[in-house]
Amino acid sequence: MMTVTKAADPARRPKRPVTVTGTTVIAVATVLVGIVASLTVDSFATAANMRGLFLSVSIIGIIAVGLSLITIVGKVFTLAIPALVALSTITFASTLYLGPWIALLITVAGAAAIGLIQGLVIGKLETDPIITTIAAAAILIGIGQLWTNGRTVVGTGEATLFNSSLFGAIPFQTLAFALVAAALFWWHKYTVSGRKLTLVGLNEKAALISGLRSWPMVTLAFVVSGATTGLGGALLSAQSGQGTLTLGASFGFDAIVAVVVGGVAITGGIGTPLGAAVGAIFVGLLENVLALVGLNYETQLVIKGVLVLAAVTLMGVTGRAGRSR
C-alpha cells in the first residue's frame, strides 16, 4: 500500500498519519459518546434503543460506504442518492411479488445500472460529477413520478425476512451493513483494483503516467455506489413493504455527513470505506443520544450541518493536500 503511495507522490507520505488519526478520532469519539451515554442517559443502554440505533445506522451506513468510493476516486459526491433511494424503494415494492430475494436482486441491479450510466458519463466524458448527478437526480425523480403518478406503491409479498433479527438482537440490515462495509474495506485495501482506485483519486496525472486510466475506476466507483444505494433503498422499502418518491429524502445528506465526518478527504484518495462506516455510526449514535436527551429533529439538523462544516474545515487545515490556488 505504501509503495503505491510512495511512487505516486513522496511528498504526500507524511500526511498519511494525519488522516489515519482523522478516522481514529471519530472512532474514539464514537466509543466515548457511547460510554458516556450509557452511563448518564437511562434509556440509552436498553435493548429496544440499541435495536433502533442499529436499524437507523444500518441503511445510512450501507449507502455511505458505497458513496465513500466516489469520494475516494476523486469525484466528490453524487447528489442523486435521494432520488436513487426513492426509485429503489419503488422498484423493490413493485417487484416484491416475485419474492423478496429476486426483488432485492432486481433493485440492486437496476440501481447499479443507473450508477453505471452516471459513471460512464462522468468518467469517460469527464463531465462535472456534481452537475451530472444533479441532472441525474432530476431525471430519476421525473421517471419515478411518471412511473407511479406520485402514488405510493404497495408491494404484494412477504419481505419480513429482511426485518428479522438474527439471534434475537442483530437486525438483518445491520448484518448487511457489516458485510458490505467489511467487503468494501477489504477490497479497497487489499486488492489491486482497490489500490488503483485510491491512486486515481490521489493523483490522477500520476496514475495516467503510470499507465492507469481513470475512467474504469470512476465507473466502478459509481457502479458500486449505485448498487449499495439500491440495497439501502430495498431494505428501506422492506420495512414497510412500500415504495414512494419521498422515502429516503434525507439519506443524501446523511450519507455525505457520514463520509465527511468519517475522515474521507473531499479532494480524493484519502480515507477508507471503513471510515465512512464509522462516520455513519458516529452520526447515528449522536442523533440517537440527542433525541434521547430531548433535542428535536430541527436542532439535530443544525448540529449535523455544524458537524460537517467542522469536519471539512479540520480536514482542510490538518491534511492540506497541497492543492494549488
Partner 1 sequence: MKIRASILYWHARPALAWTLAVVAFLYFTLSNGHFLNAGNLYALIQLFSTLMLVAAGLAIVMIAAEFDLSIAGTFPLAGLVAVQASDKIGVVPAMLLAVVVGLLVGALNGWITGRFRIPSLAVTVATMVLTIGIGFEITGSQLVTMTDYTASLTLTQRVLGVFSVGSLIQIVIAIAAYLFLRSSWRGRFVYAVGSDAARARASGLPVTATLVFAFMVCAGFASVAGALQGVSLATGQAGSNDSFLLQCATAALIGGVALTGGRGSLTGVFGGAFLLTVLTNGLGLAGVNSALILLVNGIVLAAVVLVDRPLNRFIDRRLRAEMPIGQPPTQTSSEPAPTH
Binding site for partner 1 (CB under 8 A): 74, 76-77, 79, 121, 125-132, 134-139, 141-146, 150, 204-205, 214, 253, 256-257, 260, 266-267, 297-306, 308-309, 312-313, 315-317, 320, 323-325
Query: Smaller CB distance to partner 1: residue 2 or 125?
Result: 125
Pairing of strands 153-154, 165-166: unpaired
> Considering beta carbons, is residue 96 or 220 the nearer one to partner 1?
220
CB of 225 to partner 1, least distance (A): 16
Distance CA 250, CA 252 (A): 6
Nearer Cβ to partner 1 (34/119): 119
DSSP for 72-123 reads HTT----TTHHHHHHHHHHHHHHHGGG-HHHHHHHHHHHHHHHHHHHHHHHH
Complex with partner 1: residue 194 or 201, whichever CB lies closer: 201
What is the spatial distance between Cα 40 and Cα 316, in angstroms, rounded to a whole number? 34
Shortest separation between residue 150's beta carbon and partner 1, angstroms: 7
Task: In angstroms, give the least distance from the CB of 219 to partner 1.
Answer: 16
Query: What is the closest distance, in whole angstroms, from the C-beta atom of residue 317 to partner 1 in the complex?
Result: 6
At its nearest, how many Å lie between partner 1 and the CB of residue 311?
A: 8
Q: How far is the CB of 267 from partner 1 (least distance, A)?
A: 6
Q: How far is the CB of 75 from partner 1 (least distance, A)?
A: 8
Question: Under 8 Å CB-to-CB from 63, ≥6 apart: which residues?
Answer: 81, 85, 228, 229, 232, 251, 254, 255
Question: How many C-beta neighbours within 10 Å does residue 314 have?
Answer: 13
Which lies closer to partner 1 via its Cβ, residue 42 or residue 298? 298
Least separation in angstroms between residue 203's CB and partner 1 is: 8
Kindly tell me which of 241 and 271 has the beta carbon lying closer to partner 1: 271
**Closer CB to partner 1, 201 or 233, in the complex:** 201
Least separation in angstroms between residue 127's CB and partner 1 is 5
Burial call 156-183: b when 16+ CB within 10 Å, e when fewer: ebebeebeeeeeeeebbbbebbbebbee
Compare residues 146 and 192 and give the one whose CB is closer to partner 1.
Answer: 146
Nearest residue to 233 via CA among 67, 76, 63, 28: 63
Q: List Cα–Cα distances, 150 to 92, 105, 111, 156, in angstroms.
A: 16, 24, 20, 19
Nearest to 51, CA basis, from 178, 162, 150, 174: 174
Q: How many CB atoms lie within 10 A of CB 213?
A: 14
**164/313 with CB nearer partner 1:** 313
Q: How far is CA 245 from CA 36, 140, 151, in A?
A: 38, 10, 8
One-letter amino acid for residue 139 of the chain: I
